[in-house]
């Protein structure tokens, strides 16, 4: 399971001209789901996102987590993160989870996130979305949790 996280001053997602999710300061997380992903990986990835220390402390060092600052979490499904880009000039989406599996796992991730943190906002699975953000820093990290890994 993949999360491209960005520390943001604010972020929002629009679908068909209406805002479906928005946060103030916090993390925008673009989520990619591959065929081998399951609930334990979603749980580990969520813990990493909530506890990853990328927010400044009093000295300006990245030493505080999303939980510690009480920031927002905006989860946006993005199947293109699971693309195989090793060859040619066109990505292959063979590694990506199918819509049924990916929707179920993304919904599970949302439920777990809302049980552990607030505020949590989301994009809409399967929709054409416009994502707006102000990347604070910029600070962007790629987090990946593989099957059986200790994250």
- Active site residues per annotation: 78-80
Q: How far is CA 123 from the centre of its chain?
A: 10
d(CA 100, CA 80): 16
d(CA 68, CA 62): 12
Q: How far is CA 28 from CA 13, 33, 87, 92, 148, in A?
A: 10, 16, 29, 25, 26
Are 56 and 24 in contact, with CB atoms under 8 Å apart?
no
Local structure of residue 149 (DSSP, 8 states): -
């Amino acid at each position: 399971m993949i999360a491209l996280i960005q520390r943001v001053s604010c972020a929002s997602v629009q679908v068909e001209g209406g805002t479906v999710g928005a946060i103030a300061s916090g993390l925008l997380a673009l989520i990619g789901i591959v065929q081998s992903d399951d609930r334990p990986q979603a749980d580990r990835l969520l813990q990493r996102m909530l506890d990853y220390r990328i927010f400044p402390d009093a000295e300006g060092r990245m030493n505080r987590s999303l939980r510690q600052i009480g920031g927002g979490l905006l989860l946006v499904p993005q199947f293109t993160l699971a693309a195989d880009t090793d060859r040619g000039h066109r990505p292959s989406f063979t590694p990506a989870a199918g819509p049924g599996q990916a929707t179920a796992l993304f919904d599970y991730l949302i439920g777990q996130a809302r049980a552990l943190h607030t505020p949590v906002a989301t994009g809409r699975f399967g929709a054409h979305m416009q994502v707006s953000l102000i990347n604070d820093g910029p600070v962007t990290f790629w987090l990946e949790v593989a099957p059986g890994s200790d994250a």
